[in-house]
Amino acid sequence: PFACFLPWQLIHLEIKPAIRNQIIRELQVLHECNSPYIVGFYGAFYSDGEISICMEHMDGGSLDQVLKEAKRIPEEILGKVSIAVLRGLAYLREKHQIMHRDVKPSNILVNSRGEIKLCDFGVSGQLIDSMANSFVGTRSYMSPERLQGTHYSVQSDIWSMGLSLVELSIGRYPIPPPDSKELEAIFGRPVVDGAEGESPSISPRARPPGRPVSGHGMDTRPAMAIFELLDYIVNEPPPKLPSGVFTQDFQEFVNKCLIKNPAERADLKMLM
């Protein structure tokens, strides 16, 4: 069958030629990837300060684009997303001994055949570091241990997947967590959290002074600064799905992904 190719300019990199060449060499490893859960990669080149890649065309776009149109993505669809992401991560680890390192809604693509695939994963630590220094969005999905500069493993990708699932479920980046008024605006009815039906709790400390980048019109505060956001990820309780809206199984799945201690966080085998 005929494959569509999409040249995509990845990022402008202010790097030394030796590092640039290393990135190009490492990207060639992607030629060897062959999985129904990984976007096809056909080559990379450097020109005029830009690294570009040629990749399989996914006509449904990325999940962050889908979210803008749909407002929220149903749990049954997110179940299929979870399976695809886990299988993609398992393939990268088992067949190529690499992590993704940048799981987020914009790097999960869909097409009109109903396929769900990961793209833009980092065989190159140099490339990911360059991207992380340039894009706030990349850091926003990093695990606490990675933000703290400690050793991280595929468990970090699991955290990023869990955070992405909460975002796709409620319709916006989940830090800081929505309060009861915003939850009611999101779901069209009062939403409670916790086993005893208490109001949704967002943190032991006072509500953060900044609002999320995207919301539902309930919040007029200035947006959270990036350092405030990263501090919140490291030091505050992780996001969770509100009770009474999603199934217990889905809530538990997400909770296992968002355990702050990576040694206690679910791994690929446990989740699959």
Active site amino acids: 102
For 12, list phi and psi in degrees, rounded to 5. Answer: -85, 125
Nearest to residue 262, comparing CAs of 141, 151, 175? 151
CA-closest candidate to residue 161, choices 218, 92, 228: 92
Report CA dihedral (230, 231, 232, 235) to the nearest 10 degrees. Answer: 130
CA distances from 136 to 133, 140, 141, 188, 209 (A): 8, 6, 9, 31, 19
- DSSP structural state of residue 206: P
Tell me how crowded residue 34 is: count the other CB atoms within 10 A of its CB: 10
| b/e map 49-60, b = 16+ CB within 10 Å | eebbbebbebee
The DSSP bridge partners found for residue 109 are 62, 117
Place of tokens 């097409």: 111
* Radius of gyration for the alpha carbons in the chain, expressed in angstroms and rounded: 19
- CA atoms within 13 Å, Cβ hemisphere of 223: 8
For the CA atoms of 130, 239, 157, 62, the dihedral, rounded to the nearest 10 degrees, stands at -70
Q: Please tell me the number of Cα atoms within 13 Å of 234 on its side-chain side.
A: 13
